[in-house]
Amino acid sequence: MRRLVAETTLTTADLVAPVFVREGIDEPQPIASLPGVVQHTRASLRKEAGRMIDLGIPGLMLFGIPSAKDAVGSEAWNPDGIVQMALRDLRADYGDSLVLMSDLCVDEYTDHGHCGVVDDHGEVDNDATLALYQRAAVAQASAGADVVAPSGMMDGQVAAIRSALDGASFPDVAVLGYSAKYASSFYGPFREAVDVTIVDGGDRKGYQQDYRNGREAMEEIRLDLAEGADMVMVKPAVAYLDILHRARLEVDVPLAAYHVSGEYAMLKAAAANGWIDGDAVALETLTAIKRAGADFILTYLATEMAQVLA
Ligand code: PBG
């Protein structure tokens, strides 16, 4: 009876796996603060993506760690940059069997760790950054991305990327906006995963949202949709279920939630201590995110949950 009347059911089809691929390594590298998650080599990523397809996971979100970083993050649009090469590998290996999403930002590629160009005063220059995102979008689409996902929270980024994609004859490449993205301390382990330290103890409060604000998130989502976003995201997930729910009531496009690195790390740490039942808490957490309104969830739990749900 409980199964019959359940309002929300989590399935593997709801999950997107964030994955890291690193240039210049021969073996996958563990990430201490994300137990079970690794920085992949191109070869190990190809294998892992095959495993995801076998498990029924519909898509992945790709992040790259380049060997060299510079002031503008030029590896983000180098045709032979690590993410572009990995996209070509996966497209060649698996065709349309996996939705290939790529995070579109420059913070993994800049030597100062900011999501854009930094001006003489140390502030991120919003409008100068848009041109870089346009180049990265075209590079990712050319390499085989189905979905590009701008995560830098620059004003006007979705419109800029949409026009660049259309201008380069990629009208079918979708834009998933990290629309309601908060300046969050839950991203700590991710910074280790992508080897990013923001220069001078800086933060992203100048371009990501203040966690005290909720209405502002709705405005950000409306702006992204007006600019042509095909899907929108709320990030992080668990501390922002109210935002997710509000977004669900307001928009009818696909809505994503990102269960981020710190949320995963806390769950894993408590489970490793035997303080909680890891699988049960993971299932409850992801089901709650879906109940709040997400159509799909980016989560480092994707492969293990797929096994639990099988
Ligand atoms: C930016 C980006 C970040 C995350 C996804 N894309 C970090 C940031 O904004 O500082 C965080 C994801 C996570 O914590 O799991 N490229």
Mutate to test the pocket of ligand 1, among 105, 191, 197 (most ligand atoms within 8 A of CB): 105
Domains plus CATH for the chain?
7-309 (3.20.20.70)
Catalytic residues: 181, 235
Task: Tell how far the Cα of 235 is from the centroid of ligand 1, in angstroms.
Answer: 9
Q: Interhelix angle for 157-167 vs 126-143, to 10°?
A: 40
Q: Which residues have any ligand 1 atom within 6 Å of their CB?
A: 103, 105, 107, 151, 187, 190, 204, 260-261
Q: How confident is the model at residue 79 (pLDDT cuts 50, 70, 90)?
A: very high
Read off the pLDDT of residues 113-136 as tens digits, 9 standing for 90 and up. Answer: 999 999 999 899 999 999 999 999
On the 0-12 / 13-18 / 19+ scale of CB atoms within 10 A, 168 is: middle
Find the DSSP H helices in the chain: 2-5, 42-55, 82-94, 126-143, 157-167, 188-193, 215-226, 241-250, 261-272, 278-292, 302-309
Task: Report how far ligand 1's centroid is from the alpha carbon of 258 (Å).
Answer: 9
The reported pTM is: 0.97
Per-residue pLDDT reduced to its tens digit, 44-61: 999 999 999 999 999 999
Instruction: Give the H/E segment covering residue 232.
Output: strand 231-235
- Of all protein residues, the one whose alpha carbon is nearest to atom 11 of ligand 1 is 187
Q: In the prediction, which pLDDT does 237 show?
A: 98
Banded pLDDT at 141 (limits 50, 70, 90): very high
The torsion angles phi and psi of 23, rounded to 5 degrees, stand at: -75, 145
CB atoms within 10 A of CB 8: 10
Can you tell me which residue has the tokens 């957490």? 285
- Give residue 278 CA to ligand 1 midpoint distance, Å: 23
Mutate to test the pocket of ligand 1, among 62, 114, 153, 190 (most ligand atoms within 8 A of CB): 190
Residue range 83-96: average pLDDT?
A: 98
